[in-house]
Amino acid sequence: MTWGSYGSTREAFEAIVNRHMKDAYFIALGLVGNREDALELSQEAFYRAYKHFDQLNAPEKFFPWFYQILRNLCFSHLRKRKVRRAYAVGAEDSGSGSGEPGSAAMMAGQEAAMAAMPDTFDPEMVAQRNEAKDRLWQAIGQLDEKHREVIVLRHFRNLSYDEMARVLFCNRGTVTSRLYYARKRLKDILNRESGCPTAECSDREPRKGGQK
Amino acid sequence: MTCQDYKDSMMAYLDNELSDEQLRAFEAHLASCPKCTEELEEFRKLKQITDDVELVEPENRLWQQYWGGVYNRIERGIGWVVFSVAGILLLIYGGFTAIENVITDPGISALLKVGLLALLVGLAILFVSVVRERIFFWSKDRYKDVRR
């Protein structure tokens, strides 16, 4: 790469970053649940995209390609965080019991803890908070990867089904099916935690004027 | 069609993504299926709350400094590459100079010189072998362009 082409690539990439930075930040926020990680991971995703930017032959392919980098970074970050937390929980449990570090019982305990562990979402990230919104935000943190991303893309970035199909590299049918199961799971989590059906729960909190 | 077949239509109905024809078919099904009507109502309530959830918009400063954060990473990446290349070049130069000094020094025994040369030849063979293997696998990798 010559310095001239470096300059023009950098300028073109800066324009792309400015165009997509809000999408990148808010998608990362919806996937990982806190501001610092969302900022860090979205900027890191742009940096990784830059390293291979000259190989991208069509500008309209940028966002779906970039989205794959971003979601992989976010989910890999969450998995690492879960492993660290599960290890801490396992170490605590074995400290109070007879398990030794590295024993089969301790490792099984960590795996079980990991499976049951929801991702912690910062409640301060929700605008105009009320109880219903807080519970929903925490419930999104309990969804698995495939379901969480369709909720985030649809509700926080307002992507159409066709746009979602493009960024997820799947067909429309898969998008609608994932949305169905994601919303069903959300409904189940909310019902289980509140002990009341979704209808009653949503009526309990008056809706405050949203910006949408 | 069964209720199961209408699950996807239910989501597209809520999100205004149905074509006119699909909309008519789904509404006709709803009129004759209280179970789907009830489920749709529950999903509608859930969607109301979900639509109400807005994420906090960060202050403008974050957007103004956003490109700076990405640029710093790019700059540091280039810095590391230049630093690594310079380090490797200096190591090679230092290595050659040291070897030259050893070989031309009449005070060092011939056996040590031969041993050192054999060590270097072995390292060179290993290096060429690893590089050739990498290039061979890379050229045969059918998925090398998949990420793009």
C-alpha dihedral, B121 to B124 to B129 to B134, nearest 10°: 170
Dist CA B24 CA B30 (whole Å): 10
- Global pTM exceeds 0.80: no
Query: Which backbone phi and psi does B103 adopt, to 5 degrees?
Result: -65, -40
Nearest partner of B74 among A53, A24, A26, A28, judged by Cα: A53
Residue A162 near residue B57 (C-beta atoms within 8 A):
no
Residue with tokens 């742009």: A46
For range A76-82, the mean pLDDT: 90
What is residue A179's predicted lDDT score, i.e. its pLDDT?
95
Give yes or no for a contact between B74 and B68, defined as CB atoms under 8 angstroms apart: no
Closest CA–CA distance from residue A135 to any residue of chain B (Å)? 10
Measured in whole angstroms, the distance separating CA B143 from the mean position of its chain's CA atoms is 14
Query: Is the confidence at residue A210, as pLDDT, over 60?
Result: no
Domain boundaries, chain A: 123-212
Q: Is the separation of the CB atoms in B12 and A176 below 8 Å? A: yes
For chain B, which ranges sit under pLDDT 50? 147-148
Pick one of 3.40.228.10, 3.40.630.30, 1.10.10.10, 1.10.3720.10 as the CATH number of A123-212: 1.10.10.10
* Residue A211 binned pLDDT confidence (cut-offs 50, 70, 90): very low
- Tell me the percentage of chain A whose pLDDT exceeds 90: 52
Q: Given this model, what pLDDT does residue B94 score?
A: 93
> Six-digit token pair at A64?
């779906």
- Within 8 A of B50 by CB-CB distance, chain A residues are 136, 151, 155, 186
Can you give the residue ranges of every domain in chain B?
Answer: 4-52, 109-148
pLDDT digits (tens, 9 = 90+) for A139-185: 999 999 999 999 999 999 999 999 999 999 999 999 999 999 999 99
d(CA B16, CA A168) in angstroms, rounded, equals 20
What b/e string do you get for A159-185 counting C-beta neighbours within 10 Å, with b at 16 or more?
bebebbbbbbeeeeebbbbbbbbbbbb
Give the pLDDT confidence score for residue A208 in this predicted structure. Answer: 39
Give the C-alpha distances (Å, rounded to integers) separating B44 from A43, B19, B33: 36, 19, 17
Question: Residue B54 is nearest to which of A44, A46, A210, comparing CB atoms?
Answer: A210
What gap in Å lies between CA B111 and CA A137, rounded to an integer?
73
Please give the single-letter amino acid code of residue B76: R
> CA-to-CA distance for A143 and B79, rounded, in angstroms?
40
**Mutate: best of A184, A192, A205, A208, partner B, most B CBs <10 A:** A184
Judge: B51–A210 Cβ closer than 8 Å, yes or no.
Answer: yes
Cα(B44)–Cα(A26) distance, integer angstroms: 24
Give me the pLDDT at residue B148, please: 45
Structure tokens at A40: 């860090």
Spell out which residues of chain B touch residue A202, defining contact as CB-CB under 8 Å. Answer: 45-46, 48-49
Provide the angle, in degrees to the nearest 10, between the axes of the packed helices A161-168 and A62-96. 70
CB of B111 less than 8 A from some CB of A: no
Q: Does B46 touch chain A (CB under 8 A)?
A: yes
pLDDT in tens, A102-127: 566 666 666 666 666 778 788 888 88
Helices (H), B33-65: 34-52, 60-64
B55 touches chain A (CB under 8 A): yes
Task: Over range A71-85, report the average pLDDT.
Answer: 90
SS3 B105: coil
